Amino acid sequence: MRAIILKEPGQFDFIEQEDIKAEKGKAIVKIKRIGICGTDYHAFKGDQPFFTYPRVLGHELGGEIVSISENGIKHSLKIGDKVAIEPYLNCGACQACDAGHINCCENIQVIGVHSDGGMAEYISIPINKIHKSERLSFDQLALVETLGIGLHAVNRANVKSGEKVLIIGAGPIGLGVAQFSKLKGATVCMADISKSRLDFIEKIGLSDKSIQVTGKLEEADLKNVLDGDLPSVVIDATGNKNSMLNTFNLLAHGGRLVFVGLFQGDVTFFDPNFHKRELTLLASRNCLPGDFKEIISLIEEGVIDTNPWLSHRTSFEDMPNKFETFLEPGQEVIKAIIEL
């Protein structure tokens, strides 16, 4: 079978791999769509922390089951099912797994990151990591994981109806966070450096207010657009150190702060500022199996419109040529999808 391997930063190659053999408890999925995300761009540029080469990327996957190797575990999958793949392989034996926090398993292996992923014709995947839908298109199935990151972050913040939520970073993760904050009934204020991104998100109805960030975001900027209030929830989806350190100054007293983006370094804050506001700081990592199920139903019911997400696409054959163009800011890529 063919796969595309990232040999080293900046260099994709097609390779011929041995055909996948059936393994008990796993299904073989024929890959139909692969979403490209920030992690892939960082791996390509060579600045993704703890990343090793060569690696087959691809963790946002939509495909079709071609074989199932039973191991006695009950499931409702069958050959021909259209499926989304949950790419977080957890160990099932650590303290986090025992407690149900399988999204942050101590020994987590994310396919396409820690082990080879789905930028290939086929992938073998544990049956319990496969989520089917009779109604979603392959494009939509490949978007479920990205949306899951947003849903998990919003669940971490426990966003409630009527709350004012500030989302910093209007990339795909921020867009997902906005989607689910709106569904919870929050007033969403989006902040980003890109005016066109802010306009786009407001136009599709996923934000109520926008702030174009030119320097450091100040309390006054927020009070201006939030009728004199500060947000009770701030979700940072930038992964930018300066942005993240500044968020401690932007919250209402009693507020919750979620870091969905991350950077390599120390998060520091002035404790009296943290205490006087009685802030809650939360990290958000990956998402849970229930998030996959919920998102699939929301798309099936037409509650989530996936059209705005699908901004760019390429064939599998063309991917190595096209990949770099998706990094150009002028392209305004929301989500690029590879088609097989």
Residue nearer to Zn ion on the CB measure, 89 or 304 = 89
Closest distance between Zn ion and the C-beta of residue 236, in Å?
Answer: 17
Closest distance between Zn ion and the C-beta of residue 90, in Å?
Answer: 5
Residue nearer to Zn ion on the CB measure, 176 or 255 = 176
If we measure between CA atoms, which residue out of 262, 312, 339 comes closest to residue 63?
Answer: 339
Provide the token pair at 3. 């796969």
CA-to-CA distance for 100 and 90, rounded, in angstroms? 11
Closest distance between Zn ion and the C-beta of residue 92, in Å?
Answer: 6
Side chain identity at residue 170, one-letter code? A
Vertex 152 angle, CA 147 and 157, to 5°: 130
Closest distance between Zn ion and the C-beta of residue 251, in Å?
Answer: 27
Q: Is 101 exposed, middle or buried (0-12, 13-18, 19+ CB in 10 A)?
A: middle
Q: Are 176 and 147 in contact (CB under 8 A)?
A: yes
Closest distance between Zn ion and the C-beta of residue 287, in Å?
Answer: 10
Which parts of this chain interact with Zn ion (CB under 5 A)?
37, 90-91, 94, 97, 105
Residue nearer to Zn ion on the CB measure, 15 or 97 = 97
Strands 2-8 and 11-16: antiparallel
CA-to-CA distance for 264 and 239, rounded, in angstroms? 9
Closest distance between Zn ion and the C-beta of residue 61, in Å?
Answer: 10
Residue listed under structure tokens 């942005």: 243
Provide the token pair at 152. 């998990």
Residue nearer to Zn ion on the CB measure, 152 or 256 = 152
Residue nearer to Zn ion on the CB measure, 149 or 157 = 149
Helix, strand, coil in percent for the chain, rounding step 5: 30, 25, 40
Closest distance between Zn ion and the C-beta of residue 85, in Å?
Answer: 12
Please state, in angstroms and as integers, the Cα–Cα distance from residue 139 to each residue in 90, 100, 142, following that order: 26, 29, 5
Closest distance between Zn ion and the C-beta of residue 152, in Å?
Answer: 12
Residue nearer to Zn ion on the CB measure, 148 or 231 = 148
Residues contacting 263, CB < 8 A, separation 6+ = 239, 240, 241, 244
Residue nearer to Zn ion on the CB measure, 38 or 280 = 38
Residue nearer to Zn ion on the CB measure, 90 or 133 = 90
> Would the CA dihedral through 291, 231, 220, 268 be positive or negative?
negative
If we measure between CA atoms, which residue out of 299, 285, 336 comes closest to residue 84?
Answer: 299
What is the maximal distance between C-alpha atoms in the chain?
Answer: 62
